[in-house]
Structure formats: structure tokens, C-alpha cells
Amino acid sequence: MTAMQSIGLDNLPLVEEGDDLALIIYGALCEKGIALEDTDIIAVSEKIVSKAEGRLVKLDEIEPSDKAIELGEKSGKTPEDVELILRESKEILHVGEFIVVETHHGFVCASAGIDHSNVPEGYAKLLPEDPDASASKLRGSLEKKSGKHLGVLIVDSHGRPFRRGAIGVAIGASGIKTLWDRRGDEDIFGRALKVTRVAIGDMLASAASLLMGEAAERVPVVIIKGVDFSGDGAGKDLLREKGEDVFR
């Protein structure tokens, strides 16, 4: 592979709870005159997935616990935000300027992925409950509409230890080999690779994030063409087991 193409869709309406994302995305593709082909990958912002799945929470309906109030004082976050973080987490790893947790999904990230950007005032957005299931459902619907074999990524932005700035990561996937095990393959000098595994899902998600942006770009879907990473991988394949995690 020496080239690929990424096409952002900037013609989607604002997504609301209960919306049919496949119908909206396919309609936007048709409006743009973009034809889907076998092995195309549809990268979708987790934000519109969460909105469609009803994962917005009204903050004034949240009753903070004593622990949420205590951690809010330590972190500078509101007790309501901290209460949501606690509910979405299975382990609190660090409390400071950021609250770093392991979510119920297994993601290690700040604030359990809870976000206030691009949602109505007074609301917070939670991550999709099961991003891999969301990707699988969306892929099935888009394949029926297009008649093509596709891949779907659910994309979120995460920070990284020891590196500044957020990058796109694949929190959910369907129809894609998200982790490419290159162990045993030879390098240009004929030496066998011993440890190399390539995070294809995260690489593609990060490429899509360049077009999606982080502010008011309104490009929540990116079509990636010219690559073939078809497979039965999932977003959870990219998560380290605790025994492999050198930071905890």
C-alpha cells in the first residue's frame, strides 16, 4: 500500500437520540455523490453514536455522592461531573488536575471519556455503552444499503502517557483487523520481527481525526478508501491486559 484517501462528510444534520445513523450517513454519501466500495472503512465520531443512543445526561438531575463531592474538591471538577465519572468507571487511577480512570469498557482515560463539547448546555455526554456492538450494528445496516463489504470504526480522542496532545483512537470496530501481528515477518535484512504488533485501528482512527477535528468542524464521519484491513477485529483487541501494562 502506497496511498489511501480520506473523505470527510460535512453535510450531516445534528444527531439526536433515536436517529438512524446508517440512514443519515448513507444519505450524506448519496448527497455528496460518494460511492462505497468493498473494503472501504467508515470512521464515525463516538459523539454522534452516543447522541443517537441516548447517552446524554442532564447534569441537574445528578445527585452527587459524598465521594464525588470529596474528589470534586481535590480535582476542581463539579460534583455532578465526578459522580458521572464514578458511575462510568471500575477503577480510579489518579486524581489531580485530571481524574484518570479505567472505564467499564476497559479504557484508561481522563474523566471516563465524559465530555461537554458540542452538546447542549447543562448536559454531559457519556461514551457509547458498547462501542464494538455499535460498530457492528452500523456496519450491518450500511452493508445492506450499499451492497458492499465494509469496515466501521468508532473514534474517540485520548491523551497519552508522556506525550502531549490528544489523538484519535478506535474504541469500537467491526469488519476490520484492528491489531496486526507482524511477529515472524522479516525485515529488509531478513531478520524475523519478534515483538511488533501494529495498532491498525488506532492508526486509521487518528488519520480520520485529522478531518473530524475537535471543535466546530462538524465532520463526524470520514470515509477511508484505498486500504484493505478486512477482518473480524474489535476495539477491545487494542486494550492491554493488566499483566501487560507497565504503568500500573
pLDDT at 97: 86
pLDDT at 1: 75
pLDDT at 214: 76
CB-based contacts of 59: which residues, under 8 Å, 6+ apart? 78, 80, 81, 122, 123, 124
Report pTM.
0.93
Lowest-confidence segment of 77-81, 87-91, 99-103, 188-192 by average pLDDT: 188-192
Residue 21: C-alpha distances to residues 42, 147, 155, 162 (Å):
12, 17, 15, 36
- pLDDT tens, 117-141? 888 899 999 999 999 999 999 999 9
- Assess contact for 55 and 126: CB atoms under 8 A: yes
More confident residue, 10 or 214: 10
pLDDT at 40: 98
Question: What single DSSP character describes residue 241?
Answer: P
Q: What is the dihedral of CA 31, 33, 36, 40, to 10 degrees?
A: -90
Lowest-confidence segment of 11-20, 130-139, 237-246 by average pLDDT: 237-246
How many CB atoms sit inside 10 A of residue 174's CB? 27
Name 43's bridge partners.
153, 222
DSSP H helices, 96-185, are: 131-146
| pLDDT higher than threshold 90 for residue 246 | no
∠ CA 125-131-134, nearest 5°, is 100
| pLDDT higher than threshold 90 for residue 44 | yes
The residue-averaged pLDDT of 102-107 equals: 95
pLDDT at 70: 94
Spatial separation of the C-alpha atoms in residues 43 and 240, rounded to whole Å: 22
Q: Which domains does the chain have, with CATH numbers?
A: 5-46+132-238 (3.30.1330.100), 57-124 (3.90.1660.10)
- pLDDT tens, 168-208? 999 999 999 999 888 888 888 989 888 888 999 999 999 99
Spatial separation of the C-alpha atoms in residues 222 and 113, rounded to whole Å: 21
Give me Rg for the CA atoms of the chain. Answer: 19
| pLDDT higher than threshold 80 for residue 243 | no
pLDDT at 202: 97
Confidence label for 248 from pLDDT (cuts 50, 70 and 90): low
The residue-averaged pLDDT of 94-117 equals: 93
CB-based contacts of 93: which residues, under 8 Å, 6+ apart? 100, 101, 102, 108, 248
The residue-averaged pLDDT of 12-25 equals: 96
The residue-averaged pLDDT of 12-20 equals: 95
Compute the mean pLDDT over every residue in the chain, rounded to the nearest whole number: 93
